[in-house]
Amino acid sequence: MMRRVAILISGRGSNMTALIEAAAAESFPAEIALVISNKADAPGLATAQANGVKTLVIESKPFGKDRAGFEKLLQAALDDHQIELICLGGFMRLFTAEFVRRWYGRMLNIHPSLLPSFPGLDPHGQALRAGVKISGATVHFVIPETDAGPIVMQGAVPVSDDDTPDTLAARVLDIEHKIYPQALRLLATSGVQIVGEATRTSAGVCSDDNLIAPSVI
């Protein structure tokens, strides 16, 4: 059965685009039924509309710090469209603990680092300052704590000595676009279960699919 998904955005929504394109395949087990933005000028709205996806704007600015008031409208829209799963795609608005608990196990986010390393703002700058040789992206379930939910999927990329936050961000974004649709596929097919603070999945792991950096020849 096709699961109905809403994507929440605040900007251009590049991960939204990757999800919409993946869901266009007949074999994909989820339908992107709605894109909601908390900003009327978000460029991603036009992209979603061009792909035939229904869009909705629920401005968060008028609510100020009244998160519950904003979430009341948001939840009503999700209910009206019979949404079962949520994917956050650059949604720049914090949720109340109550809203997060309501959607626990059904709301995904993607963060551009290999969590639990480098949560929060400027993850690429954090990674470069730490001198890591491998970075990447993480899809995780949303919990009240920022970037701390059970991890569903991760993808890694090498870090070059001459990387800047921008060049590393571009490389990580490519892997984001690969793993987010696959994480949604797992969730939509009940292929991932939360066990304590971690997850177990039905997907296999290829032992040859390793990333080691720097490479030594």
Q: What is the DSSP string of 91-160?
A: ---PPPHHHHHHTTTTEEEEESS-TTSS-SS-HHHHHHHHT-SEEEEEEEE--SSTT-SPEEEEEEEE--
Q: Return the closest-CA partner of residue 86 out of 146, 193, 4, 190.
A: 4
Nearest CA-CA partner of 6 in 69, 67, 80? 80
Q: Which two tokens stand for residue 121?
A: 């703002």
Rounded to whole angstroms, the Cα distance separating 98 from 69 reads 12
> Which member of 111, 124, 140, 177 is catalytic?
111
- Is residue 111 annotated as a catalytic residue, yes or no? yes
The Cα 163–Cα 101 span in angstroms is 38
Distance CA 115, CA 190 (A): 23
* Distance from C-alpha of 31 to C-alpha of 25, rounded to nearest angstrom: 10
- What residues are annotated to the active site? 111
